[in-house]
């Protein structure tokens, strides 16, 4: 059963990729194609980070465990779209012009935030397997808490690049903060429960 | 100071014809070599004004916050905008303030085609065949006093028609300004149309300013007031973020905006494999305008 659900989530997660490939194929990207691809992959990275963060609260709210089994895949899709985003910027836009790119990373704070967020995703993607989970033991959890920092960096990246109208990035920020607060509260409750059991 | 008479400047139409002719001579070779080397920035390519941006892009990809902050908003939200009746008031440090109707303006000044490069501060550019005439012609209609050192432009304020003005995104009405010598420069254009047609609403109908060597936001749209003033006026963007937007805002590849590198730009052409091109000092108009700023520290007066 879970297997089929996973397959469905996997296929659904491919939709943003299919949309952008269709747009490329049918030459439907509009006046500024590179920006269109950059924005598309950037937005979906943030959304997948949010999906990933939502699984644990969803499990607690609905009392259904299945959500957790999607988490790794969703996290890997966040990394996948983040990498496409990076490749669009470094490859398509800047033709791997390393001097221009490194200058951007140093001097433009939104690029710095975005680059850092992507960079921090790498160790999470590398240690996402069950094997690594067992190998790293309790360190795994600590390491993977980075996802909150990464999400916030991602939104800051968005806030800093917007020229004037902050509505969109602020919506992302609010959702991520709510998820973070939920997380802290659940943890507190769990701690309380744990304490009660001990006493 | 070097002075350029209007007669010394090649009319745009002839200019384009010459360029087209020159280009046609070496077209086969240059286009073949251009497409086979997909590397960044061919320094020679961006002074070439012969490849006009598509009408569709010019009229659907706009920064005009009065009609919304998305690039497609101005096209979507401006179609009902009324540009008749329309009056432009010229006032301030002048002998005789006047109100001119759009009809009077269109009949007293003949518009010619002027192909200019538009460089947005966000790092993209278009090549637009505007219709228009030099602002100096309009300003000469009023005898401005010697105390007039700057010119301030004001866009219409009409939140009922301009949904963007219902939110306090910018300091409405939109204002922009130029130094008097910048305003009197023959390249500074009063735009009345593009591609040989009347100006679409989303591009600033019925009348806008275009200053080719400055970032796009310096060119105020849908002008209702031109005021000659003694002191440097504030502009909407300067009020919003003085650190990011200076009064001069001349296109300058050597001075980065805090968020966007200004060294290169992406031509708007719908081609995802088209390379960035190098941005030129004063947007390629250095020969015509650099003398206006001689001796000025452009880092300080950005």
The mean of the pLDDT values for chain A is: 91
Q: Which two tokens stand for residue B6?
A: 């209007």
Beta pairing, strands B223-229 & B264-267: unpaired
pTM beyond 0.90: the answer is: no
Determine contact: B61 vs chain A, CB below 8 A. Answer: yes
- The average pLDDT across A50-66 equals 91
The mean of the pLDDT values for chain B is: 87
- The average pLDDT across B174-194 equals 97
pLDDT band at B30 (very low <50, low <70, confident <90, very high): very low
Q: What is the pLDDT of residues B101-156, one digit of tens each?
A: 999 999 999 999 999 999 999 999 999 999 999 999 999 989 899 999 999 999 99
Instruction: Please judge whether B268 and A163 are an interchain contact, meaning their C-beta atoms are less than 8 angstroms apart.
Output: no
Please name the residue ranges forming H helices in chain B: 12-25, 27-36, 55-60, 73-77, 102-108, 135-139, 180-183, 236-240, 286-289
| Superfamily name with CATH number, domain B6-293 | Oxidoreductase, molybdopterin-binding domain (3.90.420.10)
- How many domains does the structure of chain A reveal? 1
B133: β partners:
B190
Q: Is the ipTM of this complex over 0.85?
A: no
Instruction: Please judge whether B276 and A93 are an interchain contact, meaning their C-beta atoms are less than 8 angstroms apart.
Output: yes
Among candidates B268, B279, B284, B278, which has minimal Cα distance to B128? B268
Unique residue bearing structure tokens 């009063």: B190
Residue A103's H or E segment, with its range, is helix A98-107
pLDDT over 60 (residue A172): yes
Is residue A94 within 8 A of residue B40, CB to CB? The reply is yes
**Helix, coil or strand: residue B190:** strand
Q: How far apart are CA B251 and CA B261, in angstroms?
A: 12
Instruction: Please judge whether B271 and A33 are an interchain contact, meaning their C-beta atoms are less than 8 angstroms apart.
Output: yes
- Say if residue A47 is preceded by a cis peptide, omega within 30 of 0: no
Q: Which has more pLDDT, A83 or B256?
A: A83
Q: What is the pLDDT of residues A93-119, one digit of tens each?
A: 999 999 999 999 999 999 999 999 999
**Helix, coil or strand: residue B55:** helix
Distances (CA, A) of A71 to A32, A56, A129, A144, B193: 34, 8, 12, 12, 55
Instruction: Please judge whether A33 and B259 are an interchain contact, meaning their C-beta atoms are less than 8 angstroms apart.
Output: no
Question: Which residues 273-292 on chain B approach chain A with CB closer than 8 angstroms?
Answer: 273, 275-276
Is residue A190 within 8 A of residue A59, CB to CB? The reply is no
């Amino acid at each position: 059963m879970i297997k089929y659900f996973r397959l469905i989530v996997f296929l659904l997660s491919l939709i943003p990729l299919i949309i952008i490939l269709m747009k490329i194929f049918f030459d439907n990207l509009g006046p500024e194609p590179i920006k269109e691809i950059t924005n598309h992959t950037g937005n979906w990275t943030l959304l997948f980070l949010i999906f990933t963060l939502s699984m644990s609260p969803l499990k607690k709210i609905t009392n259904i465990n299945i959500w957790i089994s999607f988490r790794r895949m969703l996290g890997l899709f966040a990394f996948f779209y983040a990498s496409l985003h990076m490749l669009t910027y470094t490859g398509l836009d800047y033709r791997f012009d390393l001097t221009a790119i490194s200058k951007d990373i140093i001097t433009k704070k939104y690029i710095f935030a975005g680059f850092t967020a992507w960079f921090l995703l790498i160790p999470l993607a590398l240690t996402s397997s069950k094997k690594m989970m067992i190998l790293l033991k309790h360190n795994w959890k600590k390491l993977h808490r980075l996802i909150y920092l990464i999400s916030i960096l991602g939104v800051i990246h968005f806030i800093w690049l917007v020229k004037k109208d902050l509505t969109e990035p602020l919506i992302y920020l609010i959702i991520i903060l709510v998820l973070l607060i939920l997380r802290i509260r659940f943890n507190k409750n769990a701690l309380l429960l744990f304490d009660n059991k001990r006493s | 100071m070097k002075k350029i008479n209007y007669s010394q400047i090649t009319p745009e139409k002839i200019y384009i014809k010459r360029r087209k002719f020159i280009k046609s001579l070496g077209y086969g070779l240059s286009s073949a070599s251009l497409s086979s080397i997909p590397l960044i920035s061919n320094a020679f390519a961006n002074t070439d004004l012969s490849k006009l941006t598509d009408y569709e892009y010019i009229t659907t990809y706009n920064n005009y916050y009065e009609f919304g902050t998305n690039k497609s908003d101005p096209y979507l939200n401006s179609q009902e905008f009324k540009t008749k009746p329309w009056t432009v008031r010229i006032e301030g440090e002048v002998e005789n303030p006047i109100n001119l109707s759009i009809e009077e303006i269109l009949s007293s000044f003949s518009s010619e085609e002027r192909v200019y490069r538009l460089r947005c501060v966000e790092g993209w550019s278009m090549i637009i065949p505007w219709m228009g005439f030099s602002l100096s012609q309009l300003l000469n209609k009023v005898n401005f006093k010697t105390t007039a050192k700057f010119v301030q432009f004001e866009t219409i304020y009409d939140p009922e028609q301009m949904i963007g003005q219902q939110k306090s995104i910018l300091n409405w009405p939109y204002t922009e300004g130029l130094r008097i010598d910048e305003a009197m420069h023959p390249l500074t254009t009063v735009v009345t149309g593009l591609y040989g047609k009347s100006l679409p609403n989303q591009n600033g109908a019925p009348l806008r300013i275009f200053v080719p060597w400055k970032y796009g936001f310096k060119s105020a749209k849908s002008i209702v007031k031109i005021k000659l003033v003694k002191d440097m006026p504030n502009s909407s963007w300067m009020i919003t973020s003085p650190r990011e937007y200076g009064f001069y805002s001349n296109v300058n590849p050597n001075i980065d905006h805090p968020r966007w590198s200004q060294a290169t730009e992406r031509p708007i052409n719908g081609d995802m494999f088209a390379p960035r091109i190098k941005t030129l000092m004063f947007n390629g108009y250095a020969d015509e305008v650099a003398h206006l700023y001689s001796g000025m520290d452009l880092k300080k007066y950005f």
